[in-house]
Amino acid sequence: MKNQEIADIFYNMADILEILNVNWKPQAYRKAARSIESMNENIETIYEKKGLKGIDEIPGVGKSIAKKTEEYLKTGKIKEYENLKKKIPKGLDELMDVMGLGPKKVKKLFEELKIKNIKELKTALKKHKIESLEGFGKKSEENIEKSLELIKQRKKRLLLGEVYPIVKELIEYLKEKKETKKVEVAGSFRRMEETIGDIDILAVSNNGKKTIQDFIKFPEVKRVLAKGNTKGVVLLKNNLQCDLRVVKENQFGSALQYFTGNKPHNIELRKIAIKKGYKLNEYGLFKNKKRVAGNTEKEIYKKLGFQYIPPEIRINEDELKKKIPRLIDYNDIKGDLHVHTRDSDGLNTIMEMALAAKKLNYNYLGITNHSKTRKISSGLEEKDLIKKIKEIKNTKVKGLKLLSGSEVDILKNGELDYSDKILKKLDIVIAAIHSGFKTDKKKMVDRILKALENENVKIFAHPFGRLINKREPYNLDFEKICKFCAKNEKYIEINAQPERLDLDYKNIKIALKHNVKFIINTDAHKKENLEFMRFGVAQAMKAWCRKKDIINTLPLKEFMKKMK
């Protein structure tokens, strides 16, 4: 996927333009870079499908940047970027990566001390040449020195699931402090984005200064970047930046709204506010300097004429334009039907998984280990599977029905990895592709449809096989599969594994149009993974799924009818 490469070039161009004192363009390039970087779709695919026009449609990308993107996709180079690089000494833009050094300071360092790369910066630091520069001082030298240690670890977005435990821990940590009155995570985490670039926390406290002090002492903090009375910024050990803002109790709603975003949603909402004669910022909603809302998000949205908009869907697509139906909710889920145990490649026993599911108030749990071909994941031979069916039957947990199943491999020819005779014995049969990812589009669809035609198969797992940041989704005639599933009562999985999130919300939307029904599963490989369910539900919310679109919201009896 070339999105990141292209975004990086535009970021660099912005840096260079800024050093060259060019106005406005840097912002434009950065906005485009951010947009391209955070897109879910492959920019190459967009170009193949819709050409230059498709690129131009990306928010923040106009004619000029679209053309440059096209140039890069075609030639692997952007002429103007090459020209820009020639205008400043080689290496100067890498100085911009040093935290605390912006265009003005980089320029000063070059003009006064002829420093044009990291190496020369280090030499100058050793000789303490920088502290005597106008605008710099002793402290500047110390900070640059510290930042240099971190420069190699480039900012990388982490998976939602990777960030989840630390956010939970941090929130708990802050809640325990007696001066804390409220804590809530905002930003991309609250919106449940696929990947997280930094963590935003919002708090109400009796003593802001003390809360910030506690915050910077959180054990996972690697480095403190800023600390004041209302705001603290730290770098965590996982190299994610984490911001804490402390606000007054009656500002909590407006601040939460403001820091949750996303940016385009907020800009749109602010525009609507202005149109209606209001002003909206993180301190509240104002009419003629009079504050008319801000204690809660709900009251802000209400005053502006909207129902409450869940954070997950604040993505500036339709949420400010259309009436939002009652969406699927985390509490609607009655069971998880794609779970592994240590009998194949999981960590826990059947009983351990069952008890964990019980804790989540589920009514049913499907144990679905890998089939025999998946040797690498210790897939079960037929005789072992039969033993496990018995064991599952004999595992009793009050209020929880255990279902025996399998995640059966779809072989390259579209046949399944187990015979119909054994599949018939199972409650849940999930078909999945784990090999032959490079099969061409036509063959892939035939292969999948052949597998789904088997009457025992009811669920199609992680349809695109993508691994976020690792493996591209495979080439799929998805709409053909949707049509088949809708017609034949097959269910498409929304796999909630943080590295999969497959389907993603855009494809859920497509499937919804074809009246496909879904099942949200975690594909858990240990008991803690069952909590990933919320990530899958969030994807469904983003596509505006309702409860009736998701079959594992059904009571056990009705759910089982769907599996027959």
Partner DNA sequence: GCCGTTTTCGGCCCGACTGTTTTCAGTCG
The residues that touch DNA, with contacts defined as CB under 7 A, are 23-25, 27-29, 31-32, 59-66, 80, 99-106, 131, 134-140, 143, 198, 200, 226-233, 241, 243, 274-275, 281
Nearest to 115 by CA among 135, 99, 96: 96
Nearest to 319 by CA among 277, 280, 264: 264
* Nearer residue to DNA within complex by CB, 11 or 464: 11
Instruction: For the CB of residue 266, give the shortest distance to DNA in the complex, in Å.
Output: 9
Q: Is the dihedral of CA 174, 176, 182, 183 positive or negative?
A: positive
Whether residue 344 contacts residue 379, with contact meaning beta carbons closer than 8 Å, is answered with yes
* Nearer residue to DNA within complex by CB, 227 or 483: 227
Instruction: For the CB of residue 58, give the shortest distance to DNA in the complex, in Å.
Output: 7
CB atoms within 10 A of CB 307: 12
d(CA 27, CA 18): 9
Instruction: For the CB of residue 299, give the shortest distance to DNA in the complex, in Å.
Output: 21
CA angle (41, 471, 164) in 5-degree steps = 80
d(CA 506, CA 494): 12
* Nearer residue to DNA within complex by CB, 279 or 509: 279
* Nearer residue to DNA within complex by CB, 136 or 518: 136
Instruction: For the CB of residue 420, give the shortest distance to DNA in the complex, in Å.
Output: 54
d(CA 9, CA 166): 32
Fill in the amino acid letter for 69.
T
Cα 193–chain centre separation: 3
* Nearer residue to DNA within complex by CB, 63 or 90: 63
Q: Give the Å distances, CA to CA, from 268 to 46, 312, 316, 365.
A: 25, 16, 7, 42
Instruction: For the CB of residue 168, give the shortest distance to DNA in the complex, in Å.
Output: 21
Q: Are strands 279-281 and 221-227 parallel, antiparallel or unpaired?
A: unpaired
* Nearer residue to DNA within complex by CB, 60 or 89: 60
Instruction: For the CB of residue 56, give the shortest distance to DNA in the complex, in Å.
Output: 7
Q: Where are the beta strands (DSSP E) in 77-144?
A: none
Instruction: For the CB of residue 316, give the shortest distance to DNA in the complex, in Å.
Output: 11
Task: Kindly state the tokens that stand for 399.
Answer: 């209020």
Q: Where are the beta strands (DSSP E) in 195-333?
A: 195-196, 198-205, 221-227, 231-236, 241-247, 279-281, 284-287, 290-293
* Nearer residue to DNA within complex by CB, 51 or 325: 51
d(CA 320, CA 265): 8
* Nearer residue to DNA within complex by CB, 270 or 547: 270
Instruction: For the CB of residue 446, give the shortest distance to DNA in the complex, in Å.
Output: 40
3-state secondary structure of 331: helix
Nearest to 445 by CA among 425, 430, 464: 464
Fill in the amino acid letter for 254.
S
* Nearer residue to DNA within complex by CB, 185 or 540: 185
Instruction: For the CB of residue 246, give the shortest distance to DNA in the complex, in Å.
Output: 8
Instruction: For the CB of residue 255, give the shortest distance to DNA in the complex, in Å.
Output: 10
Beta bridge partners of 221: 236
d(CA 56, CA 63): 6
* Nearer residue to DNA within complex by CB, 143 or 295: 143
Instruction: For the CB of residue 153, give the shortest distance to DNA in the complex, in Å.
Output: 13
* Nearer residue to DNA within complex by CB, 233 or 508: 233
| Neighbouring residues of 289: CB distance < 8 A, sequence distance ≥ 6 | none
